[in-house]
């Protein structure tokens, strides 16, 4: 049982998020405050929301024991999914 009620398959989105990762990405972006940060647990990538530019900017990388996801591959996947929601993902200067 998930916290949303029905048991879901691994990787399935909760029903309130719609049918695509674009829906989830839009929800996550909307939940962040302007200049707020989001750290991806599987890779340690840390992004900052820029509301006016409608973008997430990579601002850091947290390296933790047990994290074995390739950060570059994860960044590429995140950029692709957020682009489907009309949100730019880029590396900071």
Q: pTM of the predicted model, to two decimals?
A: 0.79
Q: Which domain holds residue 51?
A: 19-91
pLDDT tens readout for residues 16-37 = 556 678 888 998 999 999 999 9
In a domain? residue 39: yes
Considering its fold, how many domains does the chain have in total? 1
36: its two tokens? 């707020």
> Please, are residues 37 and 50 in contact by the beta-carbon 8 Å criterion?
no
pLDDT tens readout for residues 46-88 = 999 999 999 999 999 988 787 788 899 999 999 999 999 999 9
In a domain? residue 77: yes
In a domain? residue 12: no
In a domain? residue 67: yes
Q: At what angle do helices 21-31 and 71-84 cross, to 10 degrees?
A: 90
Enumerate residues 6+ apart whose C-beta is below 8 A from 30.
Answer: none
In a domain? residue 10: no
In a domain? residue 56: yes
């Amino acid at each position: 049982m998930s916290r949303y009620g029905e048991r879901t398959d691994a990787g399935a989105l909760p029903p309130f998020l719609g049918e695509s990762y674009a829906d989830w990405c839009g929800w996550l972006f909307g939940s962040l405050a302007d200049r707020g940060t989001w750290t991806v647990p599987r890779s340690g990538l840390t992004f900052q929301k820029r509301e006016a530019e409608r973008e997430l900017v990579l601002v850091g990388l947290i390296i933790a024991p047990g994290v074995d996801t390739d950060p570059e591959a994860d960044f590429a996947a995140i950029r692709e999914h957020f682009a489907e929601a009309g949100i730019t993902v880029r590396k900071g200067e």
